[in-house]
Amino acid sequence: MGEGLVPGSLLLLGGSPGIGKSTLILQVAASYARLYGKALYVSGEESLSQIKLRGERLGVSGEEIYLLAEMDVERITEAAELLQPKLVIVDSIQTVYSPSVPASPGSVSQVRECTSSFLRLAKERGTSIILIGHVTKEGYLAGPRVLEHLVDVVLYLEGERYHSLRLLRAVKNRFGSTHEVGLFEMTPQGMREVGDPSEMFLSQRPEGAAGSCVVACMEGNRPLLLEIQSLVTPSAFPNPRRLATGVDFNRSLLLMAILEKRAGLNLGRYDIYLNVAGGMEVREPAADLGICLAIASSLKDRPLRPSTVVMGEVGLAGELRAIPHWERRVEEAARLGFRWCICPPSGRSSGERVSLGILTAGTLREALDMAFS
């Protein structure tokens, strides 16, 4: 949020069920109330005793936090006008209804009308309001698209159910940048900020293992070093299997075709499995070279050059293309002790000073030669 919550702003926090939205927002309410004043937590899904139990587990003192179990938007507005809190949290917008709208809670008309009521409350009273919303199985916020247009900020809490890492991403922010990303770890005591995510992702990486490659990626303005793993085994079926976790499946198929055509690797008789260790998802093209090198390493059953990080976009002609934020990626790799970096030649500007060796490759074939030398 940059400088913090703007008075009179309306925020929407979305995420899949069980990802930790209520946990994170209760911790936010506790911190906000301790620093700035009263916070009103409205729940339409849990009873007051359930919220109290979760607060005790998280170590929330409850000072200056007021709880309200209510689904009627008019009663919620009356309580907010009576209490005059600095922050109002509604969990969730799909459970709130307006008596003047003849529809069930969660419907398009109800969600639109209730959001408009909270928007008027925020602008007239100068109160910051956070709405919690559910997402569909496709990953989009449930309800009408006008819901995202009405609010000032849209945040998504993402992560794998069976991994502890959570990523808070802004897709809309009228008051600041959408390039900031928050990284948290879900613990029994609630959400804990991850100060050094790259070190956490690489802490269990096996040394000298074939099929493992470290790539330098960007999440917003934050550089991250992630391990891409590949397993290439002979296939027992006429149609080899292809499976990708954490990387785009269609993009990985495209890169396999480039490896066959431009690098001369015969992958047609092998099952290929790809995975990003730690439960993260990599979508940017800068991870293309890392995916290709991981596949080649597993196919040859040879580890890559030790202490090497790679980055670069791979084109259909087998060329390596430049990527943005080259300096920040290299600095992060040097901080964690890597000694070599394989990247496109246009990624480095003249006159830059770096503390690790830079190996520039113009094509995918050249990068493969460097990675195994």
Whether the bond between 373 and the residue before it is cis, its omega within 30 degrees of 0, is no
CATH number at residue 207: 3.30.230.10
Q: Are residues 87 and 189 in the same domain?
A: yes
Has residue 3 been placed in a domain? no
| Phi/psi of residue 212, nearest 5 degrees | -115, 135
Domain residues for the domain of 18 are 10-195
The model carries a pTM of 0.82
Domain count of the fold of the chain:
2
Q: Is 113 a domain residue?
A: yes
Same domain, 161 and 225: no
47 contacts: CB under 8 Å, gap ≥ 6: 69
- Do 14 and 134 fall into the same domain? yes
307 residue type, one letter: S
Query: If you count them, how many residues does the chain have?
Result: 373
User: Does 299 have pLDDT greater than 80?
Assistant: yes
Could you tell me the pLDDT band of residue 262, with boundaries at 50, 70 and 90? very high
Q: Note whether 210 and 335 are same-domain residues.
A: yes
Q: Are residues 58 and 176 in the same domain?
A: yes
- pLDDT-derived band at 138 (thresholds 50, 70, 90) equals low
- List, in order, residues 6 or more apart from 238 with CB less than 8 Å away: none
Instruction: Report the candidate in 51, 27, 336, 102 with the shortest Cα–Cα distance to residue 203.
Output: 336
Q: What is the rounded average pLDDT of the residues 280-289?
A: 93
Among 176, 195, 214, the domain boundary falls at: 195
- At 160 the pLDDT is 79
Residue 312, burial from CB neighbour count under 10 angstroms (0-12, 13-18, 19+): buried
The answer to the question of residue 2 being in a domain is: no
Average pLDDT over residues 223-238: 95
Can you give the CATH number for the domain in which 25 is found? Answer: 3.40.50.300
pLDDT in tens, 48-103: 999 999 999 999 988 899 999 999 999 999 999 999 999 999 998 999 999 999 99
**Does any domain span residue 4?**
no
> What mean pLDDT is predicted for residues 266-279?
94
pLDDT confidence bin for 350, thresholds 50/70/90: very low
**Do the Cβ atoms of 274 and 254 come closer than 8 Å?**
no
In the listed set 195, 224, 259, which residue is the last one of a domain according to the structure?
A: 195
Residues 105 and 223 in one domain: no
**Residue 253: per-residue pLDDT:** 97
The answer to whether residue 92 sits within a structural domain is: yes
pLDDT > 70? residue 347: no
Query: What is residue 353's predicted lDDT score, i.e. its pLDDT?
Result: 63
DSSP-assigned beta bridge partners for residue 158: 167
Residues 215 and 128 in one domain: no
* Residue 5 forms part of a structural domain: no
Question: Residues 165-183: what's their mean pLDDT?
Answer: 89
174 and 210 inside one domain: no
How does residue 144 score in pLDDT terms, banded at 50, 70 and 90? low
Asked whether the beta carbons of 129 and 121 are under 8 A apart, the reply is yes
Q: Does 336 lie in the same domain as 208?
A: yes
Residue 166 belongs to some domain of the structure = yes
With a CB cutoff of 8 Å and minimum separation 6, the contacts of 249 are 242
Query: Are residues 204 and 190 part of one domain?
Result: no
**Which 3-state string (H, E, C) describes the chain?**
CCCCCCCCCEEEEEECCCCCHHHHHHHHHHHHHHHCCCEEEEECCCCHHHHHHHHHHHCCCCCCEEEEECCEHHHHHHHHHHHCCCEEEEECCCCCECCCCCCCCCCHHHHHHHHHHHHHHHHHHCCEEEEEEEECCCCCECCCCHHHHHCCEEEEEECCCCCCEEEEEEEEECCCCCCCEEEEEEECCEEEECCCHHHHHHCCCCCCCCCEEEEEEEECCEEEEEEEEEEEEECCCCCCCEEEECECHHHHHHHHHHHHHHHCCCCCCEEEEEEECCCCCECCHHHHHHHHHHHHHHHHCCCCCCCEEECCEECCCCEEECCCCHHHHHHHHHHCCCCEEEECHHHCCCCCCCCCEEEECCEHHHHHHHHHC
Residues 59 and 166 in one domain: yes
Q: What are φ and ψ of residue 303, in 5° steps?
A: -70, 155
177 has a pLDDT exceeding 50: yes
**155 and 258 part of one domain:** no
Does any domain span residue 350? Answer: yes
23-60 pLDDT, tens per residue?
999 999 999 999 999 999 999 999 999 999 999 999 99
What is the spatial distance between Cα 198 and Cα 22, in angstroms, rounded to a whole number? 27
Q: Pick from 165, 155, 224: which is nearest to 194 by CA?
A: 165
Domain boundary, last residue among 153, 175, 195? 195
Q: What's the token pair of residue 172? A: 């809309």
Mean pLDDT for 247-264 is 97
pLDDT at position 290 is 97
